[in-house]
């Protein structure tokens, strides 16, 4: 396909795009467990109005667009307050991956500046997000990937065996993505501190859930945010359960001194002084402004309401899954994520990938993951109205696929074309 010789009118283009979307997942109906998180009608209205307003703005230069500088600062301040970072400072990024890239790069720079480390190493659990491996690959760090415990939480003793004088970063997740359990952050932070390394808490999923769970009276097994000594950076995605449109995350450092290791400053080309806080150069103002507006539109009360409903829905789904003969949920998820697996002893009878295919025929979409083979569910408030229907379909599908093994074993969580 080439660019058309003669331009095409808006209505034609919109109908072409509508046709392209026919096979996309139906997130609007709450039938997708991840990827799009639906905060409801009024959140859409706010986001769409603000998106139109900031569609063309460029946050590359906040001297030209002081509004975006202010928006970024206020979003970081709101997030820092949520995560108990009294002195915390940071930046907005395009998403969890970019926030993690920034944290890894900052840890590397800090190790170089403060401990003269030239061969930096990262210690993380095998459940840590793939973005950490991407960051290490981009920035030339060696990764020590350590097996998790039987409950899928990071194994602190096993990780300690890999911490040494070259360790610049220890990673923990709150919660981790694959099974939704929270790593022992206080122990990991202590481990990082023992050699003067940075400690990153990946709260991409939990950053806009765990604080509201705490406010709403849910028990969490242990503290995980800046209240924990030794935690130096936290990533929190507003475009997940913050319910903002895609392209909005926050990376926070414990203080401004640590934040300096993230920024890139350059004054030796013919274009003048250039400073850039994150990976992007030209940077759309749209996701920044929509995130700012959505956070303020929902408010603390709204987030507690959305979070309570989300966690109750996850609990209902977890109980429903466990009640179906042949299925189980791995570990003990504390927040909004869980992994559905064949129950011990049922591996031959129940293939969760065949189950995922059967569910997809009924319009339900789970990401497939492993090892071990599981169906991933990130539950959000949009799933609440259809949770009972889902559980009924799930039970029927388990019967329907008994003994059937899916030919396709891929765990597709990718864009390769």
Nearest residue (CB) to ligand PLP, 50 versus 337: 337
Provide, rounded to whole angstroms, the least separation between the CB of residue 127 and ligand PLP: 9
Provide, rounded to whole angstroms, the least separation between the CB of residue 103 and ligand PLP: 11
Decide: 390 and 364 in contact? Cβ < 8 Å. Answer: yes
DSSP for 34-82 reads: SS-----HHHHHHHHHHHHHTTT-BTT-TTT-HHHHHHHHHHHHHHHHH
**Closest by CA position to 34, among listed 410, 319, 365, 287:** 365
Provide, rounded to whole angstroms, the least separation between the CB of residue 241 and ligand PLP: 10
Nearest residue (CB) to ligand PLP, 116 versus 415: 415
Nearest residue (CB) to ligand PLP, 143 versus 397: 143
Cβ contacts of 240 within 8 Å, gap of 6 or more: 37, 96, 204, 205, 208, 378
Nearest residue (CB) to ligand PLP, 97 versus 313: 97
Pairing of strands 198-202, 233-237: parallel
Nearest residue (CB) to ligand PLP, 100 versus 199: 100
Provide, rounded to whole angstroms, the least separation between the CB of residue 95 and ligand PLP: 3
Nearest residue (CB) to ligand PLP, 266 versus 413: 413
Provide, rounded to whole angstroms, the least separation between the CB of residue 4 and ligand PLP: 33
- For residues 250 and 238, give the distance between their C-alpha atoms in angstroms, rounded to a whole number: 7
Nearest residue (CB) to ligand PLP, 97 versus 284: 97
Sheet of 142-146, strand order: 89-93, 249-253, 233-237, 198-202, 167-173, 121-125, 142-146
- For residues 55 and 7, give the distance between their C-alpha atoms in angstroms, rounded to a whole number: 22
Provide, rounded to whole angstroms, the least separation between the CB of residue 336 and ligand PLP: 10
Place of tokens 């408030």: 381
**Token pair for residue 364?**
């339900």
- Beta-strand ranges (E) seen in 151-268 are 167-173, 198-202, 233-237, 249-253, 264-266
Provide, rounded to whole angstroms, the least separation between the CB of residue 290 and ligand PLP: 15
Nearest residue (CB) to ligand PLP, 72 versus 127: 127
**Closest by CA position to 311, among listed 395, 408, 231, 208:** 208
Provide, rounded to whole angstroms, the least separation between the CB of residue 130 and ligand PLP: 8
Q: How wide is the angle at C-alpha 333 spanned by C-alphas 332 and 334, nearest 5°?
A: 110
- For residues 379 and 27, give the distance between their C-alpha atoms in angstroms, rounded to a whole number: 12
Residues that bind ligand PLP (CB under 6 A): 95-97, 100, 129, 131, 173, 176-177, 202, 204-205, 237, 249
């Amino acid at each position: 396909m080439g660019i058309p010789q003669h331009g095409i009118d808006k209505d034609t283009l919109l109908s072409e795009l509508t046709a392209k979307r026919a096979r996309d997942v139906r997130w609007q109906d709450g039938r997708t467990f991840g990827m799009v998180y639906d905060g409801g009608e009024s959140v859409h209205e706010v986001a769409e109005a603000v998106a139109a307003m900031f569609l063309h703005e460029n946050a590359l230069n906040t001297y030209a667009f002081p509004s975006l500088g202010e928006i970024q600062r206020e979003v970081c301040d709101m997030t820092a307050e949520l995560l108990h970072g009294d002195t915390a400072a940071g930046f907005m990024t395009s998403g969890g991956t970019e926030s993690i890239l920034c944290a890894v790069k900052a840890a590397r720079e800090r190790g170089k500046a403060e401990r003269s480390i030239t061969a930096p190493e990262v210690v993380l659990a095998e459940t840590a997000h793939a973005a950490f491996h991407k960051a290490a690959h981009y920035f030339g760090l060696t990764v020590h990937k350590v097996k998790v415990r039987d409950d899928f939480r990071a194994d602190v003793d096993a990780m300690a065996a890999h911490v040494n004088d070259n360790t610049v970063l220890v990673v923990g997740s709150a919660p981790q993505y694959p099974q939704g359990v929270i790593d022992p952050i206080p122990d990991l932070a202590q481990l990082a501190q023992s050699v003067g390394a940075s400690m990153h808490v990946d709260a991409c999923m939990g950053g806009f859930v765990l604080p509201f769970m705490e406010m709403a009276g849910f028990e969490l097994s242990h503290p995980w945010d800046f209240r924990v000594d030794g935690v130096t950076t936290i990533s929190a995605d507003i475009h997940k359960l913050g319910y903002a449109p895609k392209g909005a995350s926050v990376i926070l450092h414990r203080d401004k001194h640590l934040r300096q290791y993230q920024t890139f400053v350059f004054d030796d080309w013919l274009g003048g002084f250039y400073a850039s806080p994150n990976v992007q150069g030209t940077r759309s103002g749209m996701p920044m402004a929509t995130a700012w507006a959505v956070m303020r539109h929902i408010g603390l009360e709204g987030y507690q309401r959305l979070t309570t409903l989300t966690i109750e829905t996850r609990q209902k789904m977890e109980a429903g899954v466990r009640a179906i003969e042949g299925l189980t949920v791995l570990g003990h998820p504390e927040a909004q994520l869980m992994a559905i697996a064949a129950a011990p002893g049922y591996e031959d009878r129940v293939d969760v990938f065949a189950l995922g295919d059967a569910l997809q025929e009924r319009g339900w979409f789970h990401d497939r993951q492993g090892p071990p083979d599981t169906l991933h569910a990130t539950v959000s408030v949009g799933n609440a109205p259809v949770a009972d229907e889902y559980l009924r379909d799930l039970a029927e599908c388990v019967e329907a696929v008994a003994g059937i093994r899916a030919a396709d074993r891929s765990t597709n969580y990718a864009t390769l074309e």
